[in-house]
Amino acid sequence: MEEGVDYYFNEDGFMVFTREYHLKRGSCCKNKCKHCPWGYGRKKPGDTDKDDNKENG
């Protein structure tokens, strides 16, 4: 892995993987990564926060 290509450190000191790293990895880890090229965890057009707050029952 190469810093600046595969990852970088954010202002809080956390390692953040880049889109390029994820593509090299080849599959989604389903951790809602910031640069996920598959869009896992992102809102889809038409989704609303109202849908996220529904109560069961």
Is residue 22, in this structure, part of any structural domain at all? yes
Is residue 52, in this structure, part of any structural domain at all? no
Is residue 34, in this structure, part of any structural domain at all? yes
Is residue 14, in this structure, part of any structural domain at all? yes
Give pTM, 2 decimals. 0.66
Number of domains in the chain: 1
Question: How far is it, in rounded angstroms, from Cα 55 to Cα 13?
Answer: 37
Is residue 53, in this structure, part of any structural domain at all? no
> Which of 15, 36, 31, 12 is CA-nearest to residue 4?
15
Q: Tens digit of pLDDT for each residue in 4-53?
A: 999 999 999 999 999 999 999 999 999 999 999 999 987 777 766 655 55
Is residue 54, in this structure, part of any structural domain at all? no
Task: Give Cβ neighbours of residue 1 (< 8 Å, ≥ 6 apart).
Answer: 7, 21
**Domain range for 22:** 7-43
Is residue 48, in this structure, part of any structural domain at all? no
